[in-house]
Structures are given as structure tokens and as C-alpha cells.
Structure 1
Amino acid sequence: MDAIITDGFVFWHWWVLGFLLLVAEILTPGTFFMWIGFAAFVTGLAAWLIPGLSWAGEIVMFAVLSLAAVVLWLKYRPLTRNDAEDNGLNQRGRHTIGRELTLVSDIENGIGQARLDDSVWRVSGPALKAGSLVKVIGADGATLKVEALNVEPRHS
């Protein structure tokens, strides 16, 4: 440590510091240490290219670059994550909107059943007879909202 104070930093000291900061970035959540690590790499590059740079100048350069990198990151990072966006994950019924189904039971009192691929789903819609063709217009949980298609019912 005394050698660093008297002789100053060698360029590769900054690169080691940058590497350690990138390792810290991997081990911790967020993207904060990465920018400071990049500042350390740039300071090491400057120390290598400008051999007469004093250790105090290197520290000031590192501090300014670190501050600038963090400020730029805070300014240009996405302010919100799109987690609030309704992407339909875990909402299988929403992926059926627009599909045409055949009723397997009458829709009575607004509730019936329709076959979708290899399963039978609960449907809600107007009073219709089994075998009628319906189109999915929405989903409410595990219940598909349907409307009648103007096609003659199929008989099995």
C-alpha cells in the first residue's frame, strides 16, 4: 500500500479494480458497479497512454468518470419495466379469442360448454343448442365469452 502511495497507481491496478467491480456486478443485483468498473478501465487506459499522469490525477479522473457514467446510466436507462403490461401470461383463455368452437352442451342461463382442441371449456353467451358454432370474443378467467356464428349447427 505504501508503494502505491509513493509511486502511484500502475495502469494495471485500474484494470484489476475494474475487473473486481465487474465481478461485484455479477454477484449483486442491478447495474451499478458495472459503470464504475468501466470508469476504472478507462482510467487504466489513460494511465497507460499517459505515463506521466499523477496518481492524484488518476483518482480525480476515476471519480469524474464514475460520476459521469452513473449519471448517464440514470438518465438513459428505462424508467419503467414493462411488468405492468398485460402480456397474457398465465391467461390461456385470452389466446383463444377469435377461434371458432363447437358447443358440446346447450348454453342455458348464459352458461354452457364447448370443445377446444383436446379439452372442454366453460363458455358464456346467448342461449344456443349443442352443436352450434360459436366464436370466442373474450375470456373471463377460465370462462370463454362466445357469440353465435350464423352457420347451421353440426350434428355428431
Structure 2
Amino acid sequence: MIASLVREMGPWAWWIFGAILLAAEILVPGNVLVWIGLAALATGLLSNFLWTADWWNWEVQWLVFAGLAVVSVLIGRRWLLRHGNANEEPTLNRRTESLIGRTADLYEPIVNGRGRIRIGDTMWMVEGADAPAGTRVKVVGSSGSDLKVEAI
């Protein structure tokens, strides 16, 4: 079945397969199918040039595709590790880190190194030097869901 499909469609089978994989990446994101789809497109490009060669049968084509898929996934993973986290909002899902630099008044005094502040509509546990309620503090760090503050 595969052999007859590849023979009938020629190099277009690889182009269509690659396009389907690239479209599937949109439906099922995960940054894997895009690299495999590119390997299928590269196999289609090779097939355009090698289609008339006697040795370029469907088994060889699938072996070439498999090798290109492995290589492209490895290259893609390495590229994503280097460039994948570059976004405009580096603290988007790290709320406590996004509060560093903000100032607020202590809602509850810091006693034994622990207190509370209100930023926006949220109450936050804070760690810092003991201080009475109403003291203006600046968020200088975070530890889990607690904020580290210093009096200003």
C-alpha cells in the first residue's frame, strides 16, 4: 500500500506528508511535528532530484526520512533550548518575580520576620526585618509564594 501510494504520487507524497505534519503542529503544539514535517519536506526535495534513480525506492526514501527526522528533531531541540525562552514577558507566569521592585505599605506588621502587604487586590506574605504596620516597603525578592521586602 505504501509503495503503491509513493509510486503513484511521486515526490508529491512527501510534500503532502510534510504539509500534513506542519498543519498537525498547529493543532497539537509541542514543537516536535514541525521538525519531522521539515524532514518530510526535505525528503520530498531529494525525491524531486532522485526520483528516476533505480536505487531511490520507497524503502530508501523512508530510511532517509527517518534519519532526517532524527537529525532535525535534535537540531530543533538544541535551537529551542538556546532561543526558546526569549519572550517579551519573562515573568509572565512567575507572579512573585513580577512584583520585584514594587512598593507597598505593610498591611500587618512584620513580627519575627513575617508580615503581610496588599498589592492590588491580593494579600501577600512577606519576609523581612521587623517593622510596624503602615511602613512603606519595597519588594526585593521572592521565595516561593512569599515576598522578601526591605523598608524604604
TM-score normalised by the chain length of structure 1: 0.61
The number of residue pairs the alignment matches comes to 133
Q: Give runs of aligned pairs for residues 1-150 of structure 1, distance below 5 A.
A: 9=7, 12-20=9-17, 22-23=19-20, 26=24, 30=33, 31-32=35-36, 34-44=38-48, 47=51, 53-54=52-53, 56-59=54-57, 62=61, 66=65, 69-70=68-69, 72-73=71-72, 76-79=75-78, 82=81, 88=91, 90-149=93-152
CA distance in 1, matches of 2:110, 2:13: 71
CA distance in 1, matches of 2:120, 2:135: 16
- 2:131 is matched by which residue type in structure 1? L
Q: Is the 8 A contact 2:99 2:139 kept in 1?
A: yes
The share of aligned pairs that are identical, in percent, is: 23
Structural RMSD (CA): 3.6
Gaps of 5+ in 1: 48-52, 150-156
- 1:145 is matched by which residue type in structure 2? K
CA distance in 2, matches of 1:114, 1:126: 14
- Which stretch shows the higher mean deviation, 94-103 or 26-35? 26-35
TM-score normalised by the chain length of structure 2: 0.62
Gaps of 5+ in 2: none
Larger Rg: 1
